[in-house]
């Protein structure tokens, strides 16, 4: 499948201070291993955020797949994959935004509110920003196989 995001069916990795869930993100021919921090969010919480992001991007709005999250009170940054729809194509970028660079505090209640519009050139360096592209139909096909209705982060399942 040209697009997928999921956790592997294996035990969580437990380091001295971290509990991480191992997963995979596939965007076309690109494959990224991910390790989601389970300090504040569960696997189900991440999956609920992914489903919300995919539904949002299919509705024609920008969204992001959050793959590593710790709140601004506990960490300086997070990792997400912004998605920018453009007709039948969705552009993906990888970002590790610093919480203190957001114009207001990040909130899981509105996880895409602070996502900027698509940029193709870095404001910091002037270099081209790496992007990956999939057709909207690949996301639709994947979403049709996603669990029926994971709860929103923090809600009881």
Q: How far is CA 22 from the centre of its chain?
A: 14
Q: What would the mean pLDDT of 107-118 be, rounded to a whole number? A: 92
* Number of domains into which the chain is organized: 1
Residue 153: exposure state from Cβ atoms within 10 A (0-12, 13-18, ≥19): buried
Quick: pLDDT tens for 84-98.
Answer: 999 999 999 999 988
Q: Is beta strand 132-135 parallel, antiparallel or unpaired with respect to 19-27?
A: unpaired
Query: Does residue 91 belong to any structural domain of this protein?
Result: yes
Q: Who wins on pLDDT, 44 or 99? A: 44
CATH number at residue 103: 3.30.2450.20
Query: Does residue 85 belong to any structural domain of this protein?
Result: yes
Residue 49 domain boundaries: 42-143
Picking from 51, 45, 55, 2, the residue whose alpha carbon sits closest to that of residue 21 is 45
pLDDT-based confidence at residue 1 (cuts at 50, 70, 90): low
Whether the pLDDT of residue 153 is over 90: the answer is no
Query: Does residue 156 belong to any structural domain of this protein?
Result: no
pTM for this one? 0.89
pLDDT at 111: 93
Whether the pLDDT of residue 15 is over 90: the answer is no
C-alpha to C-alpha distance for 38 and 68, rounded to whole angstroms: 8
Query: Does residue 115 belong to any structural domain of this protein?
Result: yes
- DSSP single-letter state for residue 116: P
Residue 144: exposure state from Cβ atoms within 10 A (0-12, 13-18, ≥19): exposed
Q: What would the mean pLDDT of 91-113 be, rounded to a whole number? A: 91
Query: Does residue 16 belong to any structural domain of this protein?
Result: no
Query: Does residue 96 belong to any structural domain of this protein?
Result: yes
- Characterise 104 by phi-psi region: left (phi > 0), alpha (psi -120 to 50), beta (else): beta
Query: Does residue 137 belong to any structural domain of this protein?
Result: yes
C-alpha to C-alpha distance for 80 and 119, rounded to whole angstroms: 15
Percent of the chain with pLDDT over 70: 92
Q: Helix 43-58 and helix 136-143: axis angle, to 10°?
A: 140
CA distance readout (Å), 151 to 31, 50, 128, 147: 27, 11, 37, 10
Whether the pLDDT of residue 104 is over 50: the answer is yes
pLDDT at 22: 93
Quick: pLDDT tens for 31-83.
Answer: 999 999 998 999 999 999 999 999 999 999 999 999 999 888 888 889 999 99
Query: Does residue 152 belong to any structural domain of this protein?
Result: no
Q: Who wins on pLDDT, 152 or 2? A: 2
């Amino acid at each position: 499948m040209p697009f997928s995001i999921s956790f592997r069916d294996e035990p969580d990795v437990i380091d001295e201070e971290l509990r991480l869930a191992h997963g995979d993100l596939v965007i076309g021919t690109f494959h990224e291993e991910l390790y989601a921090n389970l300090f504040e969010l569960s696997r189900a919480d991440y999956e609920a955020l992914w489903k919300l992001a995919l539904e949002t991007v299919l509705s024609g709005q920008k969204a992001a797949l959050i793959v590593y999250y710790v709140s601004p009170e506990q960490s300086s940054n997070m990792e997400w994959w912004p998605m920018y729809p453009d007709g039948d194509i969705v552009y993906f970028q990888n970002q590790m935004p610093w919480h203190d660079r957001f114009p207001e505090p990040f909130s899981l209640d509105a996880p895409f509110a602070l996502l900027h519009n698509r940029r193709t050139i870095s404001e910091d360096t002037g270099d081209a920003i790496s992007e990956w592209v999939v057709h909207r139909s690949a996301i639709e096909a994947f979403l049709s196989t996603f669990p029926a209705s994971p709860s929103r982060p923090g809600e009881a399942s």
